[in-house]
Amino acid sequence: MRNIIVTEIKQTPLEEQRIEVVERKGLGHPDTICDSIMNEVSVKLSQAYIEEFGTILHHNIDKSLLAAGKVKIRFGGGIVEKPMKLIFGDRATFEANGISIPVGEIAIQTAKDWFRKNLRFVDPDVHVKYQIEIQPGSSALTDIFRRGGKILEANDTSAAVGWAPMTKTENIVLATEKYLNSKRFKDRFPETGEDVKVMGFRKDDELNLIISMAFIDRFINDEKEYFEKKAEIFEDIKRFIEKESDFKKIGIELNALDTPGRSLNGIYLTVLGTSADGADSGQVGRGNRVNGVISLNRPQCSEAAAGKNPVSHVGKIYNLLTHEIANDIYKNVPGIREVYVWMLSKIGQSIDQPAAVAVQIIPDNSVMFDKVRKETERIVDYRLEEINEFCIKLAYGKIPIC
């Protein structure tokens, strides 16, 4: 018997509250770069462990810093004076049964592959330096893996929370960044970099979006051309948002710090399309939550999912699973306006047996809550019964984490 608690809460759904704040850090934001690369390192390490040993061994690559480099921005194309530095941290298994795993080499090659695939103007062999600070894990935590079994024990006492459905503010903030970093958009506006941030503020049915998007100096010949291109891009963004949303009133700002007449000092230019080239550093856990946005009105999990191992670290598993369960409940149980799923682990206890699962539901009063409770308990129990399959999806990178 699992400890599943389903309760009704008297609360106004977020969609109907007067104020909402939502943020999305885009593909080339330094924090998103760290989250994305460290999680991909976990995926590659998991695959290497499976190939050599038939199972995933202990690792947590969830500590990382991307230190900003130094550039000289110029109209028509600047130069990189000092490369960025990517520091890989925390723990991994380097050797088992007399067989060594080249953890550092895997980490660096994974990072280089990610840069090549996702940031058009970053040469990972030239523009980034790499520092490996990954060490072997503690005997107590690595022993969890030596104990074996199809389902492992939790390697931490931790809590996570997920919710459903996403509001239209959350959806349009997420959709806007994805559009600005889509191939279609970049083909039309190659002067725009991948470092995008979208901040949404809703008051009643009025939405204000503040968008920050790096421009790339090699495509800009002077200040006048920058503002001409910015105006064209602004109109394109405006059309997209108006088409994809139905707010009563929409306000949009793009690169709000820009100040005409100040030349290079008054416009947002980068050399490589990310502020990490010379302005802003990044860190794992400071970026988007696992559903792709930072929703300030929602309860938050303190754990960073990116880079944690996918078979025993509940900071990753429960972080993502709570959102999936919340969506399952919302889609499959009639009579629900909003649902929150809380999951608490106890270190050393099997991950399919959380210390507690608490589900909070805002019903629409169209059905008896006892029926809602029973259906909800059934869904939670089923998803925990199938947790091994969920962990395998995480291990192969089939579920996005940011």
Task: For residue 139, name the pLDDT band (cuts at 50, 70, 90).
Answer: confident
- Class of the CATH domain delimited by 30-138: alpha beta
Average pLDDT estimate for 133-149: 81
pLDDT at res. 81? 98
Q: What is residue 308's DSSP assignment? A: B
Low-confidence winner among 139-153, 181-195, 203-217 (lowest mean pLDDT): 139-153
Please name every residue paired with 23 in a beta bridge, in sequence order, or none if there are none.
199, 294
Cα separation of 323 and 83, whole Å? Answer: 37
Cβ within 8 Å of residue 354, ≥6 positions away:
2, 3, 314, 318, 343, 344, 345, 346, 384
Task: Domain 4-14+157-165+301-395: give its CATH code.
Answer: 3.30.300.280
Average per-residue pLDDT in the chain?
96
Q: Which CATH number applies to 168-283: 3.40.50.720, 3.40.1130.10, 3.40.50.150, 3.30.300.340?
A: 3.30.300.340
Please name every residue paired with 216 in a beta bridge, in sequence order, or none if there are none.
270
Query: Tell me: the pLDDT tens digits for 307-317?
Result: 999 999 999 99
- Is pLDDT above 80 for 143? no
Average pLDDT estimate for 368-388: 96
Average pLDDT estimate for 203-226: 98
Answer with the residue of higher pLDDT: 189 or 143: 189
Query: Tell me: the pLDDT tens digits for 217-253?
Result: 999 999 999 999 999 999 999 999 999 999 999 999 9
Domain boundaries along the sequence of the chain: 4-14+157-165+301-395, 30-138, 168-283
Cβ within 8 Å of residue 82, ≥6 positions away:
69, 70
pLDDT at res. 302? 83
CB count, 10 Å around CB of 72?
A: 12
Average pLDDT estimate for 79-94: 97
pLDDT at res. 141? 73
Cα separation of 228 and 7, whole Å? Answer: 55
Average pLDDT estimate for 92-96: 94
Q: Which amino acid, 93?
A: T
318, 160 contact by CB (below 8 A): yes
pLDDT at res. 150? 80
pLDDT at res. 121? 98
Identical fold between 4-14+157-165+301-395 and 30-138: yes
Q: Which amino acid, 316?
A: K
Average pLDDT estimate for 176-204: 98
pLDDT at res. 341? 98
Average pLDDT estimate for 366-380: 94
- Is pLDDT above 90 for 159? yes
Query: Tell me: the pLDDT tens digits for 268-300?
Result: 999 999 999 999 999 999 999 999 999 999 999
- Is pLDDT above 90 for 149? no
Strand 192-203 relative to strand 294-295, pairing: unpaired
Query: Tell me: the pLDDT tens digits for 3-39?
Result: 999 999 999 999 999 999 999 999 999 999 999 999 9
First to last CA, the chain: 33
Cα separation of 88 and 387, whole Å? Answer: 29
Cβ within 8 Å of residue 23, ≥6 positions away:
173, 197, 198, 199, 200, 293, 294, 296
